[in-house]
Amino acid sequence: MPTGKELDDTVYEQIKAFCANGDALAKAGAFKNAVGAYGKAWELVPIPKNEWNASTWILAAIADACFLGGNMKSAYDTLAYAMTCPGAIGNPFLHLRFGQVLHGRGELDRAADELIRAYALEGAEIFANEHPRYLAFLKTRAIL
């Protein structure tokens, strides 16, 4: 996907502030509140939202908080849209999280596709802090 658009500095700084708040909440384990903070940042992104570079990392943060908080439906919906944003294809973290969510949904072929992309981009290290089931699953689908 081509490079996306850049936001003006004022909007960008507001987005960064909301996301910093979301990051602090997520770090404290308050994932639902983190999603709310990230959502405020998301609201500031102009339409069409998937043309802006900031959309990719805002949606990555939202999806991560949803995933870690156990809200897999929202994680799936967020990641599916995030993959239409600039730089999403080829982003190892997005591929990892999408693969994990797809695995949880029982969409194992799609999960394997996303997880192998993460592995190809970052190696086994990307799985280091994740539940071992994901790398174990990938080993049943590919020679690593």
Domain count, the chain: 2
Contact 94, 82 (CB under 8 A): yes
23-28: long-range contacts, CB 8 A cutoff, minimum separation 24:
23/61, 26/61, 26/64, 26/65, 26/68
Tens of pLDDT along 2-18? 578 999 999 999 999 99
Whether residue 94 is found in the same domain as residue 82: no
Last residue within a domain, chosen from 87, 107, 136: 87
Whether residue 35 is found in the same domain as residue 69: yes
Does the reported pTM lie above 0.75? yes
The whole-number average pLDDT for the span 92-117 is: 99
pLDDT at 51: 96
Biggest distance spanned by C-alpha atoms of the chain: 48
Count of helix runs (H) and strand runs (E) in the chain? 7, 0
72-77: long-range contacts, CB 8 A cutoff, minimum separation 24:
72/101, 72/104, 72/105, 74/35, 75/101, 76/101, 76/102, 76/105
Whether residue 38 is found in the same domain as residue 109: no
Q: What DSSP state is assigned to residue 65?
A: H
